[in-house]
Amino acid sequence: MTDTGIQQLDVMFGQARAENRAVLLPYLTAGIPDFESSVAIFEAMSDAGADGFEVGIPYADPLMDGPVIMAAGEYALDHGVTVDVAFDVVSAVVERTGKPVIAMTYVNPVLRHGIDAFFVKAATAGVAAVIIADLPADEAAPFKSAADESGLGLVLFAAPTTDDARLDRVLAGDPAFVYGIAEIGVTGERSEASSNTGALAARIRERSEVPIVFGVGISTPDHVAKASEVADGVIVGTAIVRRVMDAATGEEAAETLATFVADLASATRR
């Protein structure tokens, strides 16, 4: 029997813990630069040491995303990457890499699909967990029950601005993991490593054993190394998306990312 999404994540985090490292979850918008290249790029990142992936389902008005991921989303939408196409990308990635995929999107496409129908589709495609960037714990209940119903995880956020009372509320929402926001701001590359990760991770650890994965502003192997000291995982998004958007061909993107992701992966070791 196939593992549920939650079980896949447990295995992934457990294995990394045994190896004294954090998991590396590269983010890439689905279907760029085209369907086949997109899947090939994920495969190359898998071979280079990614433990799983965050696959972006493009949305026209992504409030948590900076210019690079926003442009990638627009490109994908212009090239016909609907929710269904994005799920086809996920299926292919899961089939070829055998690694967990976390789907990332915004509230409205999920609502339009119907919350339950969206999660059923996600589960069928092989998604392990879902991240919804504009869904705070306060509004999460119907999404969480749909996720439970389909055996998928729902990821909730904790930011440096999240106070203790809110942190309790986030953890009470029973997230598959906590997405720790490393930088106060939208997604995008930063020059310095985040100075927020240590304190935020400590506040979460005091309260819960739930895995913590940091994202937003983590752009280099140094940043990954620093976040990996305190987290169970790291997400690198814009630095990956930019390399795909800048590459002349899908092949070139896959080659560039194989090297980059290998560097990121070695930085996850403590």
Partner 1 sequence: MRLAKPDERGRFGEFGGQFAPEILMPALKELEEAFIEATADPTFDEELQHLLSTYVGRPTPVYHAKRMSDELGCNLYLKREDLAHTGAHKINNTVAQALLTKRMGKPRVIAETGAGQHGVATATACALLGLDCVVYMGEKDIERQALNVYRMKLLGTEVIPVTSGTGTLKDAVSAALRDWVASVETTHYIIGSVVGPHPFPWMVRDFQKVIGEELKEQLDGSPGAPTPDVIVAPVGGGSNAMGVFYPYAGDDGVRLVGVEAAGLGISSGKHGASLGEGSPGVIHGAMTYMLQDDFGQVLEAHSISAGLDYPGVGPEHSYFKDDGLVEYHNVTDDDAVAAFHKLSTIEGIIPALESAHGLAWIMANADQLRGQNVVLNLSGRGDKDVQQVAALYD
Catalytic residues: 54, 65
If the CB atoms of residues 50 and 110 are measured against partner 1, the closer one turns out to be: 110
Cβ atoms of 42 and 91 closer than 8 Å: no
185 lines the binding site for partner 1 (CB under 8 A): yes
* Strand 178-181 with 153-158, pairing: parallel
Shortest Cβ 36–partner 1 spacing (Å): 22
Shortest Cβ 238–partner 1 spacing (Å): 14
Cβ atoms of 215 and 224 closer than 8 Å: no
Count of residues binding partner 1 (CB under 8 A)? 39
Shortest Cβ 179–partner 1 spacing (Å): 8
Query: Which listed range, 17-25, 29-37, 137-145, 253-261, lies at the site for partner 1 (CB under 8 A)?
Result: 137-145
DSSP state of 2: P
Scan residues 90-119 and list those touching partner 1 (CB under 8 A): 106-113
Closest C-alpha among 91, 92, 133, 129 to residue 109: 133
157 lines the binding site for partner 1 (CB under 8 A): yes
What angle do the packed helices 35-47 and 83-97 form, to 10 degrees? Answer: 40
Cβ atoms of 116 and 144 closer than 8 Å: no
Among 12, 50, 70, 154, binds partner 1 (CB under 8 A): 70
What angle do the packed helices 115-125 and 83-97 form, to 10 degrees? Answer: 30
4 lines the binding site for partner 1 (CB under 8 A): no
Query: Which listed range, 31-39, 76-84, 90-98, 121-129, lies at the site for partner 1 (CB under 8 A)?
Result: 76-84
83 lines the binding site for partner 1 (CB under 8 A): yes
Scan residues 204-233 and list those touching partner 1 (CB under 8 A): none
195 lines the binding site for partner 1 (CB under 8 A): no
The span from the CA of 234 to the CA of 252, in Å, is: 24
The span from the CA of 23 to the CA of 13, in Å, is: 7
66 lines the binding site for partner 1 (CB under 8 A): yes
The span from the CA of 27 to the CA of 129, in Å, is: 14
* Interface with partner 1 (CB under 8 A): 59-61, 63-64, 66-67, 70, 77, 82-83, 106-113, 133-139, 156-159, 161-163, 166, 170, 181, 184-186
